[in-house]
Amino acid sequence: MRTKVLLVDDDEMLLAGLKRQLRNKFKIETAISGEDAVKMVEENGPYAVVVSDYMMPGMNGIELLRQVKVSDPDTIRMMLTGSADMSTAIKAVNEGSIYKFHPKPCPAETLGNAIQSGIEEYHKVTTDQSQLKKVQMSLANARMIQRKLMPKSNPQVDGYDIAGQSVSCDETGGDYYDFINPHEWNQEKIGIVVADVIGHGISAALLMTSVRAFFRERIQSPGSAVSIVTDVNKRLVQDIEELNLFVTMFYSEIDLREKYFRWVHAGHESALSYDPATDIFDTLGGEGLPLGVMAEWNYEEAKISIQPGQIFLIGTDGIKEACNPQNEHFGNGRLLAVVKDNHQKSAKEILADVYDALAAFRGSAERKDDETLVVVKAL
């Protein structure tokens, strides 16, 4: 089917003549007033090109083309008029977003060439829009899949209150967190992993999906925290060592019997510990190399005993590096202040308070990185 063109003019003889001369090249429809044209656009559109006279009773051409722009922004709008003064041309361009402006009388060949050019532009715009919609749909599907790969609920563990959340700055993100529940490890421990791919967006999300798969596959076999991280690192190096990519990870385990918190640091943001009884914050870091850089890196395990009421914060650098409109960082200081002021609340409430504080601090500034945080509270 040929793409439709709408000619609008209050001179019916002129419209009949143009339609007769152009109908072999284009699918021409006509309207004798701006009001009729608006109705046709709304009921019979879309039109690839709308060509309108300027001086018409009632609605003039500029008003018509302005409404066409609102109804169907992709339609190419042209003006054909005997009122070819400069002010009319300026208004037509500024208010109607005119693609071409032709004074009367205009030869049918000239008008036909202009319409053909308009149709080509219309197809280009609509093709680009169609491709954009496909990309947006793919990104939406990718986001949905990625969200489904995140924990569906917070773990329920006797003696501990745990909550996690991840917010992406793009449609998809490079942050990842997960829980390995006690029933997967004979009720001896619970695993908590937080990781961050360099960069963000769809490429980071694809790599993070692979990391999750490697990690989930590895924990099905027995082994220490160090061996788990080491094996995931070796597998990742095989896949990405030529891509100049890497993944930071903080892998931790809560020993439910001995009440220890142990961790392996792989180039990640250090975790934080707060003991309300002593009002002391500790940094839980290490010297581990990010995953995907060196296959034979020797990771190390560290551990501390867990005290009643103690709170652990395991997150990504998007939390402390969040910026306000003045380009100031949220920083660990503000994060710790939120935890200290709300330490008596549940892990889920503390988590919500942190994200509320982040939103208030960021204000009108845009989120520049993914923000992930897991809160663990010993009861």
Per-chain mean pLDDT for the chain: 89
The tokens for 70 are: 């609102």
Query: pLDDT-based confidence at 45, cuts 50/70/90?
Result: confident
pLDDT, average across residues 66-81: 88
Same domain, 249 and 345: yes
| Alpha-carbon 64 to chain mean position | 37
Q: Given pLDDT bands bounded at 50, 70 and 90, which one contains residue 95?
A: low
pLDDT of residue 87: 66
Q: What is the CATH number of the domain that holds 166?
A: 3.60.40.10
Give me the residue label for tokens 């308009």.
Answer: 118
Q: Which residue has the higher pLDDT, 213 or 104?
A: 213
pLDDT tier at 169, thresholds 50, 70, 90: confident
- Domain containing 36 — which CATH number? 3.40.50.2300
Question: Which has more pLDDT, 187 or 237?
Answer: 237
How many Cα atoms occupy the beta-carbon half-sphere of 212 within 13 Å? 21
Whole-number Å distance between alpha carbons of 107 and 271: 75
Residue 91, pLDDT above cutoff 50: yes
Residues 180, 53 share a domain:
no
Taking the CB of residue 232, how many other CB atoms lie within 10 A of it?
27
Residues 206, 170 share a domain: yes
Domain containing residue 40? 4-140
Q: Is 194 within 8 Å of 372 (Cβ atoms)?
A: yes
Compute the CA torsion angle 102, 104, 108, 112 (nearest 10 deg): 20
Q: Is residue 267 part of a domain?
A: yes
Q: Residue 139 above 70 pLDDT? A: no
Out of 97, 114, 140, pick the residue that ends a domain: 140
- Which residue type is seen at 182? P
Kindly tell me if the per-residue pLDDT of 147 is higher than 80.
no
Residue 173 to residue 376: CA distance in whole angstroms: 23
| pLDDT at position 140 over 70 | no
pLDDT above 80 for 21: yes
In terms of domains, do 343 and 198 share one? yes
| Single-letter residue type at 232 | V
The mean-pLDDT minimum among 45-49, 81-85, 190-194 falls in: 81-85
In this prediction, residue 143 carries a pLDDT of 67
Band of the pLDDT at 1, cuts 50, 70, 90? very low
Based on the domain organization, do 319 and 297 belong to the same domain? yes
DSSP type of residue 323: B
133 vs 275, which has greater pLDDT?
Answer: 275
* DSSP per-residue codes, 232-268: HHHHHHHHHTTTT--EEEEEEEEETTTTEEEEEEEBP
The CA distances from residue 314 to 196, 221, 251, 349, in Å, are 12, 25, 9, 16
110 with 176, same domain: the answer is no
Helix H or strand E encompassing 156: strand 156-157
> Within the chain, what is the greatest distance between any pair of CA atoms?
95
3-state secondary structure of 328: coil
Q: Which of 243-252, 299-308, 314-323, 337-346 has the lowest mean pLDDT?
A: 243-252
In a shared domain, residues 322 and 350: yes
344 pLDDT more than 90: yes
For residues 74 and 63, give the distance between their C-alpha atoms in angstroms, rounded to a whole number. Answer: 17
145: in domain: no
Reduced to 3 states (helix: H, G, I; strand: E, B; else coil), residue 378 is: strand
> Do 72 and 16 share a domain, yes or no?
yes
pTM: 0.69
Q: What is the mean pLDDT of residues 338-348?
A: 97
Stretch 238-257: mean pLDDT, rounded? 89
Residues 204 and 249 in one domain: yes
Same domain, 75 and 176: no
Q: Which of 38-42, 138-142, 327-331, 349-353 has the lowest mean pLDDT?
A: 138-142
Among residues 289, 297, 298, 252, the alpha carbon closest in space to that of 268 is found at 289
Asked whether residue 191 falls in the same domain as residue 285, the answer is yes
In tens, the pLDDT along 324-336 reads 999 999 999 999 9
The structural domain count of the chain equals 2
Q: Are residues 272 and 353 in the same domain?
A: yes
How many C-beta atoms lie closer than 10 Å to residue 207's C-beta?
23
Of 2 and 291, the one with more pLDDT: 291
Does the structure show a pLDDT above 70 at 170? yes
